[in-house]
Amino acid sequence: MPNFGVMQGLLAILLGIDPLRVPLPLQLLGTLLDVGIVTGMVWAVWTTLGAIGRMIAETLEIQGAKHRLVIARGLTRHDFDQVRKSIRGWRVMVVRFGTEEYLRALAGEADRNIGRPRHSSHGMKISLSASGEAILSWSLPIHRRLGTQFRCYILTRKGGAGFSVLADILKHYDEIEVLQPDLPERKRIYFLLSHFPEIASAEGVRNNYVAPE
């Protein structure tokens, strides 16, 4: 019977037995422990390599796409500053890759894993042109096969204007649809961009969507 001997030797030392006179039951136990450890190590290495391979494959299918969108026109510097002084930042959140319909009915296990909820956020920039255009710029990861669901939001500044005030001001930003908050004191104001298609999640949450190339 093959005997790796490592665990057998350790057991002999722990039990105070002469390593050259280890009883057969202890030899069998040592062999089983050796086999278990080696099997566990092989499984761990295989699992790690598989996870790394999937991560690399997934990364290769995602590319960053830069967007630049005029969301309002005819603004004065005063109008622009009224919004900016109440907003701490503009953000875009990747909800998931793929559509709910595809992930639910057609996707295999690999694509369902890729389409898991992400909820990772990235910064957006807003600027005012000399002609009074409010320009929103951002980069969004796009999955080459599945496309990307995303949602934008504003982080309000402490002590700034409340939701109703900001919502009224942002009505003049033609490309923005401000969404009602689910909590009264929410510090995030979510909005959709009418320039992009809209789809709903399984829970009925509305998101923007960029289709695959």
For the stretch 9-40, pLDDT in tens is 776 777 677 666 667 776 777 777 777 777 87
β-pairing, 198-200 vs 134-143, is unpaired
Backbone φ and ψ of 126, nearest 5°: -125, 135
48, 106: one domain: no
Backbone φ and ψ of 55, nearest 5°: -65, -40
Domain holding 31, by residue range, is: 6-59
Say if residues 190 and 119 touch (Cβ distance below 8 Å): no
- Single residue among 25, 41, 59 that ends a domain in this structure: 59
Q: In sequence order, what are the residues at sequence separation of 6 or more whose Cβ sits closer than 8 angstroms to the Cβ of residue 39?
A: none
Q: Is residue 15 part of a domain?
A: yes
Query: According to the model, what pLDDT value does residue 181 have?
Result: 77
44, 126: one domain: no
Q: Is residue 104 part of a domain?
A: yes
Give the closest residue to 84 by CA, choosing from 181, 172, 153, 154. Answer: 154
184, 206: one domain: yes
pTM: 0.70
139, 164: one domain: yes
16, 118: one domain: no
Q: Is residue 186 part of a domain?
A: yes
78, 103: one domain: yes
Q: Is residue 1 part of a domain?
A: no
**Predicted confidence band at 132 (pLDDT cuts at 50, 70, 90)?**
very high
Nearest-angstrom CA–CA distance, 45 and 38: 11
Nearest-angstrom CA–CA distance, 95 and 90: 16
24, 94: one domain: no
Give the closest residue to 201 by CA, choosing from 152, 151, 154, 153. Answer: 151
55, 120: one domain: no
68, 55: one domain: no
137 dihedral zone (left: phi>0; alpha: psi -120 to 50; beta)? beta
34, 117: one domain: no
Query: According to the model, what pLDDT value does residue 32 have?
Result: 76
Name which residue leads in pLDDT, 11 or 76.
76
192, 119: one domain: yes
Q: Is residue 150 part of a domain?
A: yes
Q: Is residue 26 part of a domain?
A: yes
**Predicted confidence band at 3 (pLDDT cuts at 50, 70, 90)?**
very low
Domain count, the chain: 2
Query: According to the model, what pLDDT value does residue 56 have?
Result: 61
202, 186: one domain: yes
**Predicted confidence band at 2 (pLDDT cuts at 50, 70, 90)?**
very low
Q: Is residue 140 part of a domain?
A: yes
